[in-house]
């Protein structure tokens, strides 16, 4: 009886661990965890990333499809098409708020905030 209980407990633990690892969200957090590197994944950008002037910000496409990183003003920065695995860097020399989007996917939006 003891072996049967141990076996059921092991199965329950493995099932619970598998469920927890599969239930994690694939969207980015509301702010970037490393302000100088922004990961594009789950068809999203972080909502807001804050860096200091002079920071080189790099977007890395870890999604399964191409994306762009294009400032809403159309002039501050534009990565062009980033295939999976590609990256794009931008030196944030001007303080301000820079909303950006993906030209291919209208729902993908983020804001880069550059502080003095």
Residue 22 lies in a domain: no
pLDDT tens by residue, the chain, 116 residues = 444 444 433 333 333 333 332 222 233 333 444 569 999 999 999 999 999 999 999 999 999 999 999 999 999 999 999 999 999 999 999 999 999 999 999 999 999 999 99
Domain that holds residue 93: 27-115
What was the pLDDT predicted at 17?
Answer: 33
Residue 38 in any domain: the answer is yes
When divided into structural domains, the chain yields a total of 1
105 within domain boundaries: yes
* CA nearest neighbour of 92 among 49, 58, 53: 53
Q: Is 21 part of a structural domain of the chain?
A: no
Other Cβ atoms closer than 10 A to 36: 14
Q: H-type helices in the chain, by residue range? A: 2-22
pLDDT of residue 78: 98
Identify whether 34 is part of a domain: yes
pTM listed for this prediction: 0.71
Q: How far apart are the first and last CA of the chain?
A: 68
- Residue 79: give its domain's CATH number: 2.60.40.420
């Amino acid at each position: 009886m003891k072996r049967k209980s141990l076996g059921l407990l092991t199965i329950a633990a493995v099932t619970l661990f598998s469920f927890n690892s599969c239930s994690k969200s694939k969207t980015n957090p509301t702010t970037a965890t490393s302000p100088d590197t922004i990961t594009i994944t789950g068809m999203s950008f972080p909502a807001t990333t804050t860096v200091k002037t002079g920071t080189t910000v790099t977007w890395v496409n870890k999604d399964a499809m191409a994306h762009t990183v294009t400032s809403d003003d159309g002039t501050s920065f534009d990565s062009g098409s980033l295939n999976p695995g590609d990256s794009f860097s931008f030196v944030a020399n001007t303080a301000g708020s820079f909303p950006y989007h993906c030209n291919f996917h209208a729902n993908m939006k983020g804001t880069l905030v550059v502080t003095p």
